[in-house]
Chains A and B, each alone.
Chain A
Amino acid sequence: DVKVTQSSRYLVKRTGEKVFLECVQDMDHENMFWYRQDPGLGLRLIYFSYDVKMKEKGDIPEGYSVSREKKERFSLILESASTNQTSMYLCASSLEGVGEKLFFGSGTQLSVL
């Protein structure tokens, strides 16, 4: 089975801190994604990547950046965390083109105080 691993299940950070969320997949998938999930708003796409060193903005990229130096790893970076970035963050990967089946990690619940 495909495994998508997110480094932390829960994180608590302070406003202004730089935050790194890490995601690793073990199935050689080309595509990787970062979503955030908020009650009443569903899943919203932050950034995605089709290949190493390649990134594309999703629907809500403001306040975030990403890094993909290796195929299996996709990092989400909050340069200066703010309270409105408190959320559940979900990483996902897929083998083929976007619009295909996604495999999700277990999520990171981030609280920014």
Chain B
Amino acid sequence: EDKVVQSPLSLVVHEGDTVTLNCSYEVTNFRSLLWYKQEKKAPTFLFMLTSSGIEKKSGRLSSILDKKELSSILNITATQTGDSAIYLCAYGGGANSKLTFGKGITLSVRP
């Protein structure tokens, strides 16, 4: 069975810290790896990584895909209280080509 494992499940840091969120996957037919940020409402898209695009960056956020290790990391530098959210990792591919989500990582950034 395809699965996605995120770690740690929760994390508390102080403003200005750098954090690394982990996502590993066991899949039968990898197609893409996506990261979402969820605050109080709808998850919002951050990055999509594929075989042709294994590293993405947007401002203080960046993500890398390691296809050999079947994992991805999401880095956030100089964290702010507005980064407090649940970060979801999902992979696309596998049986029925559906998107499979991990359980999410709850990040709390304290002033």
Residues of A within 8 A of B (CB): 4, 33, 35, 40-45, 48, 56, 58, 90, 97-107
Q: How far is the CB of B56 from chain A (nearest CB, A)?
A: 12
With both beta carbons as reference points, the residue of chain A lying nearest to B33 in the complex is identified as A99
Instruction: Decide if A56 touches B31 in the complex (CB within 8 Å).
Output: no
Residues of B within 8 A of A (CB): 31-32, 34, 36, 41-45, 48, 88, 90-93, 96-104
Task: Offer 15 A-B interface pairs, CB within 8 angstroms, sorted by A.
Answer: A4-B42, A42-B101, A43-B88, A43-B104, A45-B99, A90-B42, A90-B43, A98-B99, A99-B31, A99-B91, A99-B92, A101-B34, A102-B45, A104-B36, A104-B43
With both beta carbons as reference points, the residue of chain B lying nearest to A38 in the complex is identified as B103
* B104 contacts across to A, CB distance below 8 A: 42-43
